[in-house]
Structure 1
Amino acid sequence: MSENANNENNDLLDALNSVSEVNVGDVVSAEVLAIDDNQQLIVGIEGAGVEGVVPQRELASDQDVKDIKIGDKLQLVVTSRIGSDKEGGSYLLSSRRYKLVRFGTN
């Protein structure tokens, strides 16, 4: 194996080892990747390499999906796991619950 290929493998291993596990109840930072036809936010959970969904009903009362743009960063609470694929699983997230826990409001 060449030194370059070995460095690439080490970089890949470092990236995989730096991915943190996501658990229900965790507060996470996420970036909005898309907004689907049902007005749900599709987000990438930072540092975890997995995606999640924020249904419109789980947005805080001071947030409107019309005002949220792709690339926005949000603080969210992980409310449940969707599916059973351990490596590529996705999560249900809530901004409303984050505000409730953090600030005592929704």
Structure 2
Amino acid sequence: MTADEKLGMVKALISDMNVSDEQINTYLNVAAQRILTTAYPCGTSKVEVPSRYETLQCELAVRMIARRGGEGEIGHTENGISRSYANADDSDLLNRIVPAVGVCL
């Protein structure tokens, strides 16, 4: 998936929010770093997300964008709308990643 395709996917999923392309790309970069850190816990020279995790990268970016302004929120009720982020660390998404096995030096 190209960077433009990822940008397009995230835009489609957050079409009701006002977020610039630069902001989306920043969230995609943060999501990529989280995926690489989880997939390669002993470090790696890889700088690109493996193709099997590209959709997950977009999902993480969308979730981070959706939480904007209420990061880490545990509970919130306003005008009959309730929000709480039980997995503010996104462990439910990151648990889909299978860490690479190798020798840590």
Higher RCO by CA contacts (8 Å cutoff, separation 6 or greater): 2
* Higher CA-based Rg: 1
Pick the structure with more strand per residue: 1
Task: Give yes or no for TM over 0.5.
Answer: no
TM-score under structure 2 normalisation? 0.26
TM (normalized to structure 1)?
0.26
Query: Which structure is higher in helix share?
Result: 2
